[in-house]
Amino acid sequence: MRRILMVLLHADADSFFASVVLRRRPDLVPVPVAVSAHVFVASPNYPARARGVRGGMLVHEALRICPELVVIDVPRTEVEEASDALFDIFHQSAHTVEPGSMEEGFLDPGTSDVGAAVELARTIRRRAMVELGLPVSVGIGRTKLMAKLASRAAKPDGLYVIDAQREAELRSSLPVGDVWGIGAHTKERLRLIGVHRLHDLDRISPDELKRVCGTTMSSRLQRIREGTDEATLHPVEGRTSLSSEGSITGFARPDWTPTELVAACTLRVCRRAERAGLAAAGLSLTVKSEAVGPVIVLKHQAPDPTSDLNYWAAVSRDLLTQQTLPRVVGVRVTLTGLVPPNRIPPTLF
């Protein structure tokens, strides 16, 4: 078996929001489906993607290009619980996990043996499907970028390994727009100096590259070209916060009042904390409004960490009503300072 210096996995649930919904709606699996958040498409399934529906698209635009699209409002409770369960599998399977989003993460399998990493990836995919009903694609590569490119190649519902030969090809021929973390603005600036693929960087001086895309990005691009890009995971050593969010307006459902939405988000996040066996020292309420400008963040610190739903429900309700707010369109409730109950210091007085 060929051995390499390091092996990383990137595990990514396919069409996560849509996959969560379709677990209880198998009749919709073969038809175009999109899960919406507010007025945007949060996650289309693959039949919808084949019709041109994309994440972030306005729902009315998606319906215009795909009139038969079935649109379902995002089931926040189910999605958040599925994410927690998915990461339980990741943490039980790997030595180290670095979350990327609620449905994806980088995993250190604790081995440089590609065959062993492949077997671990198969186990993760099997557990996710059997225990959660979720398809997960896994990519294997030597660095984070290579592992993420591999998981893209694995989709949908597959497993892909980028070996040394394929890695060398990608470090030369990969379009810069396909590099994880490069946005449209940087891509356009690179195009103007003739950088379309990674090998085009060889013609550009470090000073010019830095002028065009900044110190951090220019350094990253040079490391990618050289094969010295990041391969170190940065785990979250125990959760210190949990969040739940939602929108006032949803597709094909009655609008909620701000009070109802805050109560629902607080209930969801408290149940997740209880499931994880955690108590919270604080709560922050992030309010998104129609007003132009930054979001409003309201905070409360508890005298002692607690997991009492009634306490946090009253706190979030009071935060919402303690000042006059612009018209609310969405909220996020975050429990902070999470600790296991056995680590809460006793009250001295």
Residues 323-346: b if buried by 16+ CB within 10 A, e if exposed: eeeeebbbbbbbbbebbeeeeeee
**Nearest-10 crossing angle of helices 164-173, 144-154:** 100
Tell how strand 33-37 and strand 40-44 pair up: antiparallel
Nearest to 332 by CA among 299, 292, 291: 299
- Find tokens 């890009």 and name the residue: 229
Q: Which residues are catalytic?
A: 104
Q: Going by C-beta distance under 8 Å and a sequence separation of 6 or more, which residues neighbour residue 9?
A: 94, 106, 107, 108, 109, 117, 120, 121, 124, 138, 139, 140, 147
Q: How many residues does the chain have?
A: 349
Q: Are 284 and 298 in contact (CB under 8 A)?
A: yes
Answer positive or negative: Cα dihedral of 77, 338, 296, 312: positive
